[in-house]
Amino acid sequence: MNHLDELNKQQREAASHINGPLLVVAGAGAGKTKTIAHRIANLIESGVSPQNILAVTFTNKAAKEMRERVTNLLESINAKSEVQPPEDNLFGVWGESENESVFRANSPQDREQRNALSFSPLVTTFHSLGVLIIKENANILGVNRFFSILDKDESLSIIKKCAKELGFGPKDYNANAVSAVISKEKNRLKNPEEFEVKTQDHYFGEMVHSIWEKYEKKLKEAKSFDFDDLIRIPVLLLKNNGVVRSRYQNLWKYIHIDEYQDTNTAQYEFSRLLAEGHGNICVVGDSDQAIYGWRQADFRNILNFEKNFPGTTSVLLEENYRSTKTILKAANNIIKKNKNRRDKTLFTNGEEGEKISIYEATDEGDEAKYVVSKAKELIDLPAGRQKKTLIRPEDIAVLYRANFQSRVLEEQFLRANVPYQLLGVRFYERKEIKDVIAFMKCALNPDDIQSFERIINVPPRGIGDTSFKKIADGREPELPEKMRARIDDFRKTLANIKDTLFKEKLSSSIKYIVKTSGLDAHIRESGEEGEDRLENLKELVSLASKYDFLESADAVDKFLTETSLLSDQDSLMEKQNGVKLMTVHASKGLEFKYVFVAGLEEDLFPHKRMGSDEVVDTEEERRLFYVAVTRAREKVFLSYAQMRTIFGQRKMSMPSSFLGDLPEDIVDVETNGVFKSTYDRAGKTTNFLSLDDDEDIIEWDVLSSHKK
- Residues forming the active site: 32-33, 258-259, 289, 631
Which stretch of DSSP H or E encloses residue 357? strand 356-361
Q: What span, in angstroms and rounded, lies between the C-alpha atoms of 635 and 596?
A: 9
Q: What span, in angstroms and rounded, lies between the C-alpha atoms of 350 and 348?
A: 5
| DSSP classification of residue 319 | B
Q: Give yes or no for a contact between 367 and 361, defined as CB atoms under 8 angstroms apart.
A: yes
Q: What span, in angstroms and rounded, lies between the C-alpha atoms of 620 and 339?
A: 11
Q: Give yes or no for a contact between 695 and 649, defined as CB atoms under 8 angstroms apart.
A: yes
Other beta carbons within 10 angstroms of residue 446's beta carbon come to 16
Q: Where are the alpha helices (DSSP H) in 574-688?
A: 618-629
Q: Give yes or no for a contact between 26 and 302, defined as CB atoms under 8 angstroms apart.
A: no
Q: What span, in angstroms and rounded, lies between the C-alpha atoms of 182 and 196?
A: 12
Instruction: Compute the C-alpha angle 256/122/220, nearest 5°.
Output: 95
Q: What span, in angstroms and rounded, lies between the C-alpha atoms of 569 and 589?
A: 9
**Beta carbons within 8 Å of 32's beta carbon, 6+ residues apart:** 24, 26, 258, 284, 317
Q: Is the dihedral of CA 618, 619, 623, 625 positive or negative?
A: positive
Task: Give backbone dihedrals phi and psi of 436, rounded to 5 degrees, phi first.
Answer: -60, -45
b or e along 91-115 (b: 16 or more beta carbons within 10 Å of the residue's beta carbon)? bbbbbbbbebbbbbbeebeebbeee
Q: Give yes or no for a contact between 656 and 359, defined as CB atoms under 8 angstroms apart.
A: no
For the chain, the C-alpha Rg in angstroms (whole number) is 26
Q: What span, in angstroms and rounded, lies between the C-alpha atoms of 640 and 316?
A: 35
| Bridging pattern class, strands 420-422 and 592-597 | unpaired
Whole-angstrom CA distances from 65 to 33, 401, 627, 683 are 8, 27, 20, 39
Q: What span, in angstroms and rounded, lies between the C-alpha atoms of 357 and 350?
A: 20
Task: Give backbone dihedrals phi and psi of 55, rounded to 5 degrees, phi first.
Answer: -130, 130
Q: What span, in angstroms and rounded, lies between the C-alpha atoms of 241 and 159?
A: 30
**HSE-CB for 137 with a 13 A CA cutoff:** 21
Q: Give yes or no for a contact between 95 and 125, defined as CB atoms under 8 angstroms apart.
A: yes
| DSSP classification of residue 615 | P
Whole-angstrom CA distances from 308 to 248, 311, 339, 633 are 21, 10, 21, 36
C-alpha closest to that of 598 among 646, 560, 653, 638: 638
**HSE-CB for 244 with a 13 A CA cutoff:** 20
What residues form DSSP beta bridges with 90?
A: 103
Other beta carbons within 10 angstroms of residue 330's beta carbon come to 26
